[in-house]
């Protein structure tokens, strides 16, 4: 096989852990974190820069990493994931995994694929409709992507709704929506977002923002009050199963 027969992607890390967010919290997963993102969310907790090498955990759960040159081929990634046993699914995250839809399309894995996405790239999402079994779609409210111009923000919202439609729940795929909630979150934008995608998802998760950086010392600065989050949930329960679930992996320090 020549090099041109391979498909490659820049991957930051590959490791075994448990899902820390949403309705599948606690399920055992391999995580594949792709580099690069098309957004820059205010609250993002992840370094998704493209490193020269991919860190991969040779022994599941060991927290000890080997390095492999980037970009990684589909065959190399399949080999990295081979030792991980008893997986519920393989989480494709990032950065933004939809940027690497061509690579994901070619992956040949025995575990179901769990896509963790910002849902703003419908042309890429379309390619994965028959490929992913779980879709964890994060709806980025306009407040979360303040730094971009209003026209682009509006386009992102339209694209998000289209991604949820393309990857909606069906008899062989679950699709749910997460929304990160902080002090600036407006109930009107949450309601509009959920109204637009409620028919496509099995539930909505309100995910309180976990403080990052200097905010850790002053959580009141960014966090929404308990009362406000409960109020948001009550409104949404008129429409759809709505749960409040914080990021649990951050509580016990797993990856």
Ligand X SMILES: Nc1nc2[nH]cc(C(=O)O)c2c(=O)[nH]1
Q: Are 253 and 247 in contact (CB under 8 A)?
A: no
Q: Contacts with ligand SAM in 135-164 (CB under 6 A)?
A: 138
Q: What does 255 interact with, of ligand SAM, ligand X, ligand SF4, none (CB < 5 to 8 A by kind)?
A: ligand X
Residue 48, interface with ligand SF4 (CB under 6 A)?
Answer: yes
> Which C-beta is closer to ligand SF4: that of 73 or that of 176?
176
Annotated binding-site residue numbers for S-adenosyl-L-methionine: 43-45, 95
Residue 46, interface with ligand SF4 (CB under 6 A)?
Answer: yes
Residues 6 or more apart whose Cβ sits within 8 Å of residue 169: 175, 176, 200, 201, 202
Q: Contacts with ligand SF4 in 112-141 (CB under 6 A)?
A: 118
Residue 38, interface with ligand SAM (CB under 6 A)?
Answer: no
Choosing from 96, 143, 174, 209, the residue that interacts with ligand SF4 (CB under 6 A) is 96
Q: Contacts with ligand SAM in 50-89 (CB under 6 A)?
A: none
Q: What does 212 interact with, of ligand SAM, ligand X, ligand SF4, none (CB < 5 to 8 A by kind)?
A: ligand SAM
Could you tell me the two tokens for 128? 């994965």
Annotated binding-site residue numbers for substrate: 18-20, 33, 93
Cis, bond preceding 95 (omega within 30 deg of 0) = yes
Q: End-to-end CA distance of the chain, in Å? A: 36
Q: Contacts with ligand SF4 in 14-43 (CB under 6 A)?
A: 37, 39-41
Q: What does 40 interact with, of ligand X, ligand SAM, ligand SF4, none (CB < 5 to 8 A by kind)?
A: ligand SF4
Query: Would you call 80 helix, strand, or coil by DSSP?
Result: helix
Residues 6 or more apart whose Cβ sits within 8 Å of residue 96: 34, 36, 37, 38, 39, 48, 117, 118, 120, 121
Query: Would you call 194 helix, strand, or coil by DSSP?
Result: helix
């Amino acid at each position: 096989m020549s090099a041109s027969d391979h498909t490659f992607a820049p991957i930051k890390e590959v490791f075994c852990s448990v899902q820390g967010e949403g309705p599948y919290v606690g399920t055992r997963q391999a995580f594949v974190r792709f580099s690069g993102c098309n957004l820059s969310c205010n609250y993002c907790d992840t370094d998704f820069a493209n490193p020269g090498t991919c860190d991969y955990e040779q022994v599941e759960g060991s927290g000890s990493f080997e390095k492999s040159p980037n970009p990684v081929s589909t065959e190399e990634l399949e080999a990295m994931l081979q030792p991980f046993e008893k997986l519920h699914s393989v989480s494709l995250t990032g950065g933004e995994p939809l940027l690497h839809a061509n690579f994901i399309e070619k992956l040949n894995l025995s575990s179901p694929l769990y896509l963790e996405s910002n849902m703003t790239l419908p042309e890429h999402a379309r390619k994965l409709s028959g490929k992913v079994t779980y879709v964890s779609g994060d709806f980025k409210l306009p407040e979360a992507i303040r730094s971009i111009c209003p026209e682009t923000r509006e386009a992102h919202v339209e694209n998000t709704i289209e991604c949820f439609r393309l990857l909606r729940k069906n008899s062989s795929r679950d699709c749910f929506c997460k929304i990160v909630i902080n002090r600036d979150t407006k109930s009107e934008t949450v309601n509009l977002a959920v109204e637009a995608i409620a028919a496509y998802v099995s539930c909505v998760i309100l995910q309180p923002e976990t403080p990052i950086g200097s905010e850790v010392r002053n959580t009141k600065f960014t966090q929404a009050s308990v009362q406000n989050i409960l109020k948001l949930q009550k409104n949404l329960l008129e429409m759809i199963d709505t749960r409040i679930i914080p990021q649990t992996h951050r509580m016990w320090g797993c990856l």
